[in-house]
Amino acid sequence: MKLSVVIPVYNEKATIHTIIERVKAAPFEKELVIVDDGSTDGTREYLSSLQDPEIRLILHPANRGKGAAVRTGIDASTGGMLVIQDADLEYSPDDYPALLAPIVSGNADVVYGSRFLGVHRVFMFWHYTANRTLTFITNVLYNTMLTDMETCYKAFRGDVIRALPLRSDGFDIEPEITAKVFKRSLRVYEIPITYHGRGYDEGKKITWRDAIWALVALVRFRFTD
């Protein structure tokens, strides 16, 4: 079963070469759907110079947000399985076999990679607190038992993720996906992953404002779509 790896990219010149090489090393037939979301640091020029049959490159003419880039990548994907891969090296493609195993075996439609069940960098208390709070609210609203709602490592059956009517342009794409997955009673598994979190001095982009939008999205999508 072919794997589509959707990689939303915005100003990741320092890491994009490494993440591409690590994704390509994963032991699956695959396509890399890379969506450059209006980078201005030379990332898109580097990507445009690549000649690789496994890579499908899509260039947004202007920055529209992570959610918009993810949605573009999903729409362009063709694989029977799909993983969303950030370009910043926080998440390791070495986890693909474990992340995809419940889908390959036919037991799951969606798999969440939990940063709190596996090896992770220990820092940024307020990010941890916000995430745990949002995860608790998710579990209450959707009657589930996730440990890490905001994880960026989610794997899907390709037909399942392409059927979701996603609308978010920003970081609220994560709670929107979660809301729509659980409202459709899909089979969801959760597995531990490694996580190498980075700080703002290392290029981290998400802020406390995104936590507020995530909360709004969790509530809004509980009662719409």
pLDDT confidence bin for 91, thresholds 50/70/90? confident
Asked whether the beta carbons of 118 and 192 are under 8 A apart, the reply is: yes
What is the predicted pLDDT for the residue at 1? 87
The total number of structural domains in the chain stands at 1
Residue 210: pLDDT above 70? no
Residue 88: pLDDT above 60? yes
pLDDT confidence bin for 103, thresholds 50/70/90? very high
What is the predicted pLDDT for the residue at 121? 57
What is the predicted pLDDT for the residue at 120? 54
Name every residue whose Cβ is closer than 8 Å to that of residue 83 and which is 6 or more positions away in sequence. Answer: 3, 4, 5, 6, 96, 99, 100, 153, 154, 155, 156
Q: Which of 104, 153, 92, 106 lies closest to 2 in space, CA to CA?
A: 104
CA distances for 18 relative to 75, 87, 88, angstroms:
25, 9, 9
- Please give the Cα distance from 9 to 208 (Å, whole number): 21
Q: Of 183 and 212, which is predicted with more confidence? A: 183
Q: What is the pLDDT of residues 46-56, one digit of tens each?
A: 999 999 999 99
- Please give the Cα distance from 189 to 102 (Å, whole number): 7
What is the predicted pLDDT for the residue at 85? 95
Q: What is the pLDDT of residues 29-47, one digit of tens each?
A: 999 999 999 999 999 999 9
Q: Domain span at residue 89?
A: 3-223
Q: Output the six-digit token pair for 124.
A: 């940024």
Specify the pairing of strand 110-114 against strand 154-157.
antiparallel
Identify the bridge partners of residue 198 per DSSP, sorted by sequence position.
none
Residue 203: pLDDT above 50? no
User: pTM of the predicted model, to two decimals?
Assistant: 0.86
User: Residue 151 belongs to a domain with what CATH number?
Assistant: 3.90.550.10
Asked whether the beta carbons of 91 and 85 are under 8 A apart, the reply is: yes
pLDDT confidence bin for 119, thresholds 50/70/90? low
% of the chain residues with pLDDT over 90:
60
What is the predicted pLDDT for the residue at 61? 95
